[in-house]
Amino acid sequence: MTAKKRIVFCDFDGTITVNDNIVAIINHFNPPGWKEIAEKTLAQELSIMDGVGQMFRLLPTSLERDVVEFGITNASIREGFAEFLAYCKEEQIEFYVTSGGIDFFIYPILSQFGIPENHIYCNGSDFSGDQIEITWPNPCDHECSNNCGMCKTTIMRRFPADEYERIIIGDSVTDFEGAKLADTVYSRSYLTTKCRELGIAHTEYETFHDIISSMKSERSHT
């Protein structure tokens, strides 16, 4: 029997980056009404797709340059991310970014890391109308009714559980469904709280160095 191939599905906002960029952008431009939408989304009263779509629709496209620039410059990368990518390469662990974030900041921020674009899944954006419109090129398949917007479980299902050890790294509401499906969960923040609530085994991390050490010790035990 051959060992399963390890594959990582890594969240972006609040995971690869230190802070949640969607929240930071909306908070910075502070359009009236965004807080209620954000709270309802986090409480899962609104789907992620509805919540994120509605929040960005509060921003006029006349702000495009400022929004894009803020989105790119505001983010800082969590410690150990480059080292983690190198570790994955070395260990032949497949690495995918699965993010509920938006293309206009994700691609520029990740460009320095040499991740192939077809290994980055996120939402799109359309600045052609009066308000910013988020587009959803990676919707839920028929097995997910969560209205994720960018559906992590849909992507995970393309890598069958009998061939892959599916590892998810995340921090918040966009990772809840993926965590239920994954073999291994690395969590921080709300995702940790949620895993406790649902009784899902998880390993907490603060930096990507923590994840590397955990993966290394896991290997040495098996």
Segment holding 184, helix H or strand E = strand 184-187
Q: Which does 144 bind (CB under 5 to 8 A by kind): Zn ion, Mg ion, none?
A: Zn ion
Q: Which does 14 bind (CB under 5 to 8 A by kind): Mg ion, Zn ion, none?
A: Mg ion
Q: Which does 192 bind (CB under 5 to 8 A by kind): Zn ion, Mg ion, none?
A: none
Q: Which does 68 bind (CB under 5 to 8 A by kind): Zn ion, Mg ion, none?
A: none
Yes or no: say if 44 and 173 are a contact pair by the CB < 8 Å rule: yes
Name the DSSP letter for residue 60. Answer: B
Q: Is 48 in the site for Zn ion (CB under 5 A)?
A: no
Q: Is 11 in the site for Mg ion (CB under 5 A)?
A: yes
CB atoms near residue 219 (< 10 Å):
10
Q: Is 98 in the site for Mg ion (CB under 5 A)?
A: no
For residues 125-164, which are near Zn ion according to CB under 5 A? 140, 144, 146, 148, 151
Q: Is 13 in the site for Mg ion (CB under 5 A)?
A: yes
Please give the structure tokens belonging to residue 200. Answer: 């899902």
Toward Mg ion, which CB reaches closer, 9 or 34?
A: 9
Q: Is 51 in the site for Mg ion (CB under 5 A)?
A: no
Of the candidates 162, 157, 163, the residue with the CA atom closest to the CA atom of residue 177 = 157
Q: Is 47 in the site for Zn ion (CB under 5 A)?
A: no
Task: Report the interface residues with Zn ion, using CB under 5 A.
Answer: 140, 144, 146, 148, 151
